[in-house]
Amino acid sequence: MITLVLDIITTAAILFIVAAGLLIVFGVMKIVNFAHASFITVGAYAALVTSRFGLPPVLAPLVAFLAGGLLGAATERIVVRRLYRRPLDAILATWGLGIVIGQLVTLAFGREVQFVPTPISGTLALLGVDYSLYRLLLVPAALIIAGLFAGLMNGTRLGLSTRAVIMNENLAQGLGIDSTRVRLITFGIGCGLAAAAGALITPLASVDPNMGLAWLIGAFMLVMVSGGSLLTLGLSCFVLGGLQVVASTFISPILGGLTIAVLAAVALRLRPQGFARA
Amino acid sequence: MTAMLELTELTSGYGSSPVVHGVSLQIAPGEIFALVGKNGMGKSSLLKTILSFLPAWGGTVRINGVDATDLPPHRKRALGLAYAPQEQALFQDLSVRDNLRLGLTGDRSFEARLADVSGWFPVLTARLSQRAGTLSGGEQKMLIVARGLIAEPRLLLLDEVTEGLQPSVVDRLSEVLATTRRERGTAMLVVEQHLPFVLGLADRFAVFKRGEVVDTGTVEPDSAARIDEHMRL
Amino acid sequence: MPDLVPAIEAKPAAALPGSPRAFLRVAAATTAAAALIVAGPWVLDTYAVNLLVRAFFVAIAALTVDVLWGVSGTLTFGQSAFFGIGGYALAIVFSQFGFGPGEALLALTAAVGVAGVVAGLVGWLSFYPGSTPLYASVISLVLPIVVVQILYSGGTFTGSSSGLVGFESFDLSLENWFRLSGLAMIATLLVMWIVLRSDAGRVLGAMRDNDERCSYLGIDTARVRIGLLVVAALIAALAGFGYVGFGAVAAPENAGFVFGTQLVVMVALGGRGSLIGAVIGAIVIELASAYLSSSLPFVWELIVGVAFVVVIVVLPGGLLGGLRDLAGVVRRRVAATPAPVAAPVMLRTVQRPAAAPDCNDVVVEVSDLSKHFGSLSVLSKISFKARQGELVSLVGPNGAGKTTLIRCLADGRERSDGSVRIAGHSIERLSADRIVGLGLGRKFQAASVFETLSVADCLRVARVRNERPSFIEASPVLALPAASRAVVESSGLIERLGEEARFLSHGLKQALELAMVLALEPQVLLLDEPTAGLTRAERQGFADILTALVARDRLCVLIIEHDLDFVRLISSRIIVLHQGRIALDGSVAEVVDAPLVREIYTGRPVSDAGGASA
């Protein structure tokens, strides 16, 4: 029972870390970045590189963030910028970008599955159960990410400008805010966050050029349901992630993998704009 | 002396439909200029073209001598322009304080400017942490004007700022704007349908009808009657 | 006796849909292609033939994606799911029951049946009034994932992740599989081409261009889309059936999300909306993948990815679109004459009994209509009646609620309270397309037409509700009611019937939209600021048309206008709205000089009952 609860909490944390970058991009720019999966992959390989260079593993997420952020900013500048008026085409173009990035990674690193050593191994005895320490640490990691982001949005001038752009881009421009720059920075942060997520989850899974894909659909559905609010995203990760764990444990792991997608689709049918205001 | 705002044969529209037809006018530094006319005649569209929210099809916009016709909207501020729109003028979910902060480009001089705001509209400084959407209509209009003035602009564009307001609030607005012009030399382009308000404030006026200026002149005692002729039902 | 007037001379250089020349060209092309298919196996090596059989089946699936996405505007990643359903139906039946004619029939029925039911369900989920294209795409994304997971969890019944192999399948020679699949592909292409060029097929393009306008022309777009999805699913399922029947292997990848996305890539690269582009894209990519992925393992996919991104961003028309643009450029350089434009279209007037000259039945009855958003009241207690033969102008300052009122009349789900009766029938909570059926026509403020359709086709789509269109023919005759035809002739549209609507000037677009709405033969006409952006001459022409509609055809016209000179000119009655209520309702003389109206318009604060703000 305790294990189940811990599974739910840590799964929610992992989902949140993976989906946060996608949410940020969707919330500010109103487009869905289907290259998100490939940025997760980029981050995972960044962690691989970090470990190969013998750098302390705690640097991996930061290195990943930088790599993803720069690559993301570049793609915004070159490709995404032209698609703001065509949101469906933006999904397709970013999907294509994802393929391109994935293939480049494959060319650089090969197709084989690789492993990154766990920075922190072992278990923690918690509430009478031995649970993976690394998984537990992802919970505070998720909270830190959420906290940093909230701090950025609410405590800085850039955050104020970004919130203004989200609420009413025209008005923001009229007040002198360069919304193009805000979008560039946002996209960079969103991709950086995806890469950081990739680095963080590598110890839990293997690293191969297509690993990001498995997360994409779930993250996408969670973002749609959350309607653009980070808080609602957290709740959705908790509720839907929890239901996924329950379904996987008690019904079957395969059907459990469907839970998020199916329940989110139903939820969206009832309330197409998501649950941000609920 | 260079005009603060100079429009030359400015034309623009939506889709294939022209709404602003070759408009030319000049506003001198420190001058208050009234643009009057009935609904739907294109006054707001003219303001949007000046700000580049609507691309100009022809003609030029010069702000303080600088050709600003194709400058993106967010760069107009740097030229000393401030804009108080008619619709969707506030961030409803942000606080009064945050809305005011966005009137400036940085937070450095904000606290000092707040003193000015409390001089103009004390009710605003009493409600700094309230969400802008919870203010009454009049308070919202005051906030819009305060945000425009807080950056000490050289040219302020006001779009139907008295719409739906009580007489007492209109009078206060009139005072604040007149004082600001007197003390800081702020030029203003005031788009209005409320004639007594705008004629009491402005130096010159132009009547806008179907996208064109059909009459213009200095504000005199007989201006109201002259304008009424154009506004006849 | 129908009155046939040739609208323009037939331009010989054009070989356009509906004309005999077009059919000849297509027939020739089809025969040539069929001949190539039949001869193919004698010329190509076994490996190529093998690849092409698969490619042809995949091309059929790609065609269904093009119809849904390129033609109707619904981005779908889910056609692979139906492809897989078709294939697995065959594999499962043959694995479980062996091979035989009865089993084959069972497999076919299962393939078609399951695909149809699933498509109906998915369509019902995706297309409903108020749904967005994004949501439909989301569902199409989830579908193949769900199907694949079901396959994974099916144990030996479905073969789980390894799929199903080793079952006995149809015993055709490789050459005959080639001919079968190739001819099936050509047949599908031909049938699709015929249907999409027919009068009924125009509606799909119209829905892609402007879904709302279609609803307001009385077309239930949700139902059309669901029907289309079911048909597309059946075709994709049959393609999958053939594919697996040929290869005797069914793998979950055939139904998966990645394959579904590949189909989209093929259509995009080939040229979305062109049908042939889907076929070319599918065949080229399937062949190239097979030949190149061994010599250039990862680079091939990289090339495809880059090409895909470039196409989406820069060249939305794909390969075919690019070629077409190039051909257009070349043609303009080579030939001095302008490109041929119009198909011969003949106008015909639909005969209807003339309306009784003094008819003035009540056709619009509004009682206590209110609309509020939460605590914000936009309209309160609006009540009025309007009759045939009346031209009522709705005036009022910005924000008074005029457009909201129009919306509440045209769409039963908009209002919060109160009742509306159109031509004696209450609109209840009917959707816009049903209210059109009661006799209401709505013209929008911004000219709402179908940009990529020709003027004639726009009008044809507007007639769909009154005259069931053919699924095969593209009729050269356009039948319009007298009022609509009058607008077409007096505005000059009659000379531009073959031109695409997006090339019309603003004034002509407005005229086109009016003609389209009049083609519905409405009893009540709602107009929203129709003179915005019109020249003086256009405005006068418009006033004449409206006056004739009211006097001669006994329409009831409700018009929102800001131009009070225009209002004074044409109205028989004026309703003044202010802050969501009716402030005045009377004849032109009564209203025009009323002091209340002057106050409302000059903005002096009014001591009104609604309670001013601040």
pLDDT tens by residue, A13-42: 999 999 999 999 988 888 889 999 999 999
Q: How confident is the model at residue C614 (pLDDT cuts 50, 70, 90)?
A: very low
Angstrom distance (rounded) from CA A59 to CA A51: 9
Distance in angstroms between the alpha carbons of the first and the last residue of chain A = 31
Angstrom distance (rounded) from CA C482 to CA C462: 14
C477-481 average pLDDT score: 88
Query: Which string of DSSP letters, residue by residue, matches C337-375?
Result: SPPP-----EEEEEP-PPPPTT---EEEEEEEEEEEETT
Count CB neighbours of C567 within 10 A.
22
Instruction: Tell me which of A68-82, A173-187, C484-498, C526-540 is least confident.
Output: C526-540
Q: What is the pLDDT of residue C344?
A: 60
Q: What is the pLDDT of residue C420?
A: 92
Q: Do B91 and A176 touch (CB under 8 A)?
A: no
Q: Is the per-residue pLDDT at C337 higher than 60?
A: no
Radius of gyration of chain A (CA): 18
Q: Is the per-residue pLDDT at A65 higher than 70?
A: yes
Question: What residues of chain B lie within 8 A of the CB of A163, using their CB?
Answer: 91, 94
Q: What is the pLDDT of residue C16?
A: 44
A206-215 average pLDDT score: 78
A158 touches chain B (CB under 8 A): no
Q: Is the per-residue pLDDT at C11 higher than 50?
A: no
Burial class (CB in 10 A: 0-12, 13-18, 19+), B110: middle
Q: Do B88 and A171 touch (CB under 8 A)?
A: yes
Q: What is the pLDDT of residue C20?
A: 64
Residues 6+ apart with CB under 8 A from A222: A15, A19, A233, A236, A237, A240, A260, A264
pLDDT tens-place string over residues C76-114? 999 999 999 999 999 999 988 888 888 889 999 999 999
Query: Which string of DSSP letters, residue by residue, matches A104-154?
Result: HHHHHH-SS-B----SS-SEEEETTEEEEHHHHHHHHHHHHHHHHHHHHHH
Residues 6+ apart with CB under 8 A from B16: C504, C505, C506, C509
ipTM: 0.86
Range 19-58 of B in CB contact (< 8 A) with A: 51, 53
Q: What is the pLDDT of residue C14?
A: 35
Percent of chain A residues topping a pLDDT of 70: 97
Burial class (CB in 10 A: 0-12, 13-18, 19+), C536: exposed
Among A162, A228, A214, which residue's Cα sits nearest to residue A189?
Answer: A162
Distance from CA of C539 to the nearest CA of B (A): 13
Q: Is the per-residue pLDDT at C4 higher than 50?
A: no
Angstrom distance (rounded) from CA C111 to CA C83: 9
B167 touches chain C (CB under 8 A): yes
A74-98 average pLDDT score: 88
Count CB neighbours of A251 within 10 A.
12
| Half-sphere CA count of C72, side-chain side, radius 13 A | 28
Angstrom distance (rounded) from CA A269 to CA C20: 47
Give the residue carrying structure tokens 């839907």: A240
Q: How confident is the model at residue C607 (pLDDT cuts 50, 70, 90)?
A: very low
pLDDT tens-place string over residues B39-49? 667 888 899 89
Angstrom distance (rounded) from CA C78 to CA A47: 34
Q: What is the pLDDT of residue C106?
A: 92
Residues of chain B with pLDDT under 70: 15-16, 39-40, 231-233
Angstrom distance (rounded) from CA B125 to CA B121: 7
C506 touches chain B (CB under 8 A): yes
**b/e per residue, C162-185, with b = 16+ CB within 10 A?**
ebbeebebeeeeebebbbbbbebb
pTM across the whole model: 0.83
C598 touches chain B (CB under 8 A): yes
Q: Which residue has the higher pLDDT, C376 or C509?
A: C509
Do you know the residue count of chain A?
A: 278
Residue C16 token pair:
């356009």
Angstrom distance (rounded) from CA A200 to CA A14: 9
Q: Is the per-residue pLDDT at C235 higher than 50?
A: yes
C296 touches chain A (CB under 8 A): no
Q: Is the per-residue pLDDT at C554 higher than 60?
A: yes
pLDDT tens-place string over residues A220-244? 889 988 887 888 899 999 999 999 8
Q: Is the per-residue pLDDT at C611 higher than 70?
A: no
Residue C212 token pair:
């709302």
Range 69-128 of A in CB contact (< 8 A) with C: 79, 82-83, 87-89, 91-93, 95-97, 99-100, 102-104, 106-107, 111
Angstrom distance (rounded) from CA C184 to CA C11: 35
Q: Do A91 and C131 touch (CB under 8 A)?
A: no
Q: How confident is the model at residue C343 (pLDDT cuts 50, 70, 90)?
A: low
Residue of chain A minimizing CA distance to C306: A100
Q: Which residue has the higher pLDDT, A209 or C47?
A: C47
Angstrom distance (rounded) from CA B53 to CA B56: 9
Distance from CA of B233 to the nearest CA of C (A): 6
Angstrom distance (rounded) from CA A197 to CA A204: 12
Q: Do A173 and B93 touch (CB under 8 A)?
A: no
Among A19, A11, A16, which residue's Cα sits nearest to residue A243?
Answer: A11
Q: What is the pLDDT of residue C258?
A: 87
C558-570 average pLDDT score: 84
CB A42 within 8 A of CB A70: no
